[in-house]
């Protein structure tokens, strides 16, 4: 299986003529009755070897972490993940292992930095609550810098989202330290950070509305990050996770998810809805269960599953009127509507 990025790279290298590549895109789009931009392509597996390498790498990295006490285990894991990426990412360009190695590298760097700072009692001269916030902030800075170096070396699309998550941790930790409050008291602030992450994702998306380059993959992972940053604080403020869910709150949850769905339709990003799916599933299940329905779990699955499948089938029909209603400048920043 070859991705859109592979086809673009082959065209740039002169292996395939531009006209031939465009004809192939049109042929595939006609067979699938949908344009390439609408496919929201993200390469995860090109062969079973990707899965094989990912499983082997997972076993090795988990074992490496377990061999040594932290922070040495974190450092060894991050170093091993980088070393594996030198071959399987830089040379073999294997998608799933690359994502796995990046996750272990970033988490290893964050964990090592956090533990080293905590062991050293840094930053000194602060209250315990403030120290925790500042430690998270400093660990986030180091992780963001490490993610930048990883991106410069390997160009794995999810790396930008990992760096953005580190920046979110940095800002959250910094505000937590300055105000001397816990993270769960900063929910409105995280909504703002989620909106900023969404805007960053749209910046990447707008630079490749045809979705033929790696920039589209970067936007995909950023959208996956932005949705829970926005939705989780909103639902927490509504009391969804405190067991106080009532009919009015459940309606608000559904309205929020429908609004998110409308945004997903306009920007043509199903990932935005998938990232927030667990929250609406929990909310509807809790409401049905409170109503005494013994089959609330199954009924929730039927309602949500059938709705999403219907949405997928009618995606372009529902999307077109929303897109054409936008100002021309906004339409130019999203994939064109068809149908």
Task: Flag whether 83 is in a domain.
Answer: yes
| Confidence band of 300 (pLDDT split at 50, 70, 90) | confident
Q: How many structural domains comprise the chain?
A: 3
Residue 7 lies in domain: 1-33
Are residues 294 and 258 part of one domain? yes
Number of helices (H), then strands (E), belonging to the chain: the values are 15, 0
Same structural domain, 56 and 136:
yes
What's the pLDDT at 79?
97
Decide which of 187 and 129 is more confident. 187
What does each C-alpha distance from 58 to 71, 73, 80, 105, 291 come to in angstroms? 19, 15, 11, 12, 43
User: Same domain for 73 and 177?
Assistant: yes
Per-residue confidence (pLDDT) for residue 295, from 0 to 100: 67
Same domain, 257 and 329: yes
Residues 249 and 283 in one domain: yes
Question: What digits encode the pLDDT tens for the residues 141-163?
Answer: 999 999 999 999 999 999 999 99
The encoded tokens of residue 47 equal: 């062969």
Query: 89 and 154 in contact (C-beta within 8 Å)?
Result: yes
Chain mean pLDDT for the chain: 86
Q: Are residues 24 and 151 in the same domain?
A: no
Closest CA to 222 of 168, 172, 171: 168
In a domain, 196, yes or no: no
Least Cα distance to 98 among 151, 40, 169, 167 occurs for: 151
Q: Do both 237 and 180 map to the same domain?
A: no
The model's pLDDT over 187-235, given as tens digits with 9 standing for 90+, comes to: 999 999 999 999 999 999 999 988 888 899 999 999 999 999 998 898 8
Same domain, 263 and 241: yes
Mean pLDDT on 7-33: 62
């Amino acid at each position: 299986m070859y991705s859109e990025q592979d086809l673009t790279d082959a065209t740039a290298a002169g292996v395939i003529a531009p006209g031939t590549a465009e004809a192939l895109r049109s042929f595939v789009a006609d067979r699938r009755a949908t344009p390439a931009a609408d496919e929201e392509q993200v390469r995860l597996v090109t062969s079973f070897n990707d899965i094989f390498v990912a499983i082997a790498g997972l076993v090795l990295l988990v074992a490496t972490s377990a061999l040594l006490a932290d922070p040495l285990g974190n450092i060894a894991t991050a170093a091993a993940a980088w070393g594996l990426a030198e071959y399987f990412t830089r040379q073999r360009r294997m998608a799933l292992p690359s994502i796995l190695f990046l996750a272990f590298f970033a988490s290893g760097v964050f964990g090592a930095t956090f533990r080293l700072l905590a062991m050293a009692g840094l930053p000194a001269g602060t209250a315990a609550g403030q120290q925790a916030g500042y430690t998270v902030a400093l660990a986030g800075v180091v992780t963001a810098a490490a993610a930048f170096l990883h991106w410069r070396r390997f160009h794995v699309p999810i790396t930008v989202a990992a760096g953005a998550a580190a920046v979110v941790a940095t800002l959250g930790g910094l505000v937590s330290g300055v105000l001397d409050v816990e993270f769960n008291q900063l929910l409105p602030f995280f909504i703002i950070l989620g909106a900023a992450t969404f805007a960053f994702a749209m910046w990447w998306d707008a630079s490749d509305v045809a979705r033929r380059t790696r920039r589209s993959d970067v936007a995909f992972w950023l959208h996956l990050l932005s949705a829970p940053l926005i939705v989780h604080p909103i639902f927490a403020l509504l009391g969804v996770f405190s067991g106080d869910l009532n009919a009015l709150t459940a309606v608000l949850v559904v309205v929020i998810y429908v609004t998110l769905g409308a945004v997903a339709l306009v920007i043509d990003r199903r990932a935005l809805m998938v990232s927030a799916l667990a929250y609406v599933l929990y909310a509807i299940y809790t409401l049905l269960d409170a109503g005494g329905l013994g089959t609330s779990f199954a009924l929730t699955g039927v309602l949500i599953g059938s709705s999403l499948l219907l949405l997928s089938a009618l995606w372009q029909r529902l999307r077109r009127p929303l897109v054409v209603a936008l100002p021309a400048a906004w339409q130019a920043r999203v994939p064109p509507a068809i149908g």
